[in-house]
Structure 1
Amino acid sequence: MKEKSYDREAAVEYARTWAFKRNPAYLDFEKLGGDCTNYASQCLYAGCKTMNPAKTFGWYYYSANNRTPSWTGVRYLYDFLTKNKGVGPYASETDRNRVNPGDIVQLGRADGTFYHSPVIVAVTAEDIFVAAHSYDAYMRPLSSYTYDRARFLHIAGVRTW
């Protein structure tokens, strides 16, 4: 496998372009539990251009009926990104002071369940700004959300064949 850089600018540009509309190449999961992680995966894909075709534990979307749980599920995306040793993007959990545009933040409840996957599009000394589907947003301050916990996923790189 080869290593390549994650194109953060491409991920953020995709986030900006599709924040308030839907890319017709992907099913809109809004009425099927939410579209946030599907949108986050689309942004990630724009920045890495590499899917992981492994059945069940990979990360891909070929169609609404041919995709992995990690493409659309909050917990499964976290598991894929933090455990991925194969092709595609990989990440490490970090703190809010070490994130960059193109990274992911997942919001959760006090009981430890996580339910939302916004994409970080800007970071300032005052706040982190995100884009998201399921309550569509672009440049929304993270501080404007109500949540009990947050985990920050720094995309460290991408592996290709």
Structure 2
Amino acid sequence: MRFVPIYNRRSVVRYAHRWAYGRNPAFYDYEEVGGDCTNFASQCVYAGSGVMNFTPDLGWYYIDANQKAPAWTGVEYFWNFMTRSGVSLGPVGLPCEMADLRPGDLVQLSFSGEGFQHTPVVVAVRQPIRSLADVLIAAHSYDADNRPLNTYTFQKIRFLHILGTVVP
């Protein structure tokens, strides 16, 4: 395995725009069973990386509605997988500052102040980024596209910059 600084941000954004207000029939819609935001975020990141990690329990993959890694649909599991320190297949990210966000990166929001509950995908940024209004997102569970980040009400926020992908 080797890390390559390859992550097709255009593919991520194109996918996000295409499916922000719809559902790709290749993936189950979890909206009625806890929410679909991280499933959508995973689909977008997969569109940009092209690599899943099929490690049972600790990987990041989707086969069907009942065969998926917790990281594919779970907000905290997704963050933990993307920010892992060990070398394993799949996209790799780092926590970052808002000013470092680029299209194809991700945001996580905590509405309650305890844990994080939402994973929107960054689809555009106005440079220089000076406020949340300069970051536009796409998301499921409250479907949105080109929504300014400052239109959300939340208690905590964190940002995730995708660095590249570990490939076979």
TM-score band (shorter)?
A: over 0.9
Does 1:121 pair with 2:123? yes
Q: How big is each residue's C-alpha offset from its partner over 1:47-106, in whole Å with a ceiling of 9 and x where there is no partner?
A: 000001100000000111110000000000000000152010010001101010000100
Q: How big is each residue's C-alpha offset from its partner over 1:108-140, in whole Å with a ceiling of 9 and x where there is no partner?
A: 146331000000000114510000000100000
Q: Secondary structure at the match of 2:92?
A: strand
Match of 1:3 in 2: 3
- Structure 2 unaligned blocks of 5 or more: none
Match of 2:154 in 1: 147
Match of 2:64 in 1: 63
Residues of 2 paired with 1:42 and 1:137: CA distance?
A: 15
* 2:3 aligned partner, one-letter code: E
Q: Secondary structure at the match of 1:114?
A: coil
Residues of 2 paired with 1:2 and 1:12: CA distance?
A: 25
Task: Count matched residues.
Answer: 161
Does 1:130 pair with 2:130? no
Residues of 1 paired with 2:162 and 2:98: CA distance?
A: 13
Match of 2:163 in 1: 156
Q: How big is each residue's C-alpha offset from its partner over 1:13-37, in whole Å with a ceiling of 9 and x where there is no partner?
A: 0000000000000000000000000
Q: Percent identity at matched positions? A: 48
Residues of 2 paired with 1:134 and 1:144: CA distance?
A: 15
Question: Structure 1 stretches (4+) deviating beyond 4 angstroms?
Answer: none
Residues of 2 paired with 1:122 and 1:101: CA distance?
A: 5
TM-score (norm 2): 0.93
Return the match for 2:113 from 91, 111, 116: 111
TM-score (norm 1): 0.97
Residues of 1 paired with 2:32 and 2:112: CA distance?
A: 25
Match of 2:32 in 1: 31
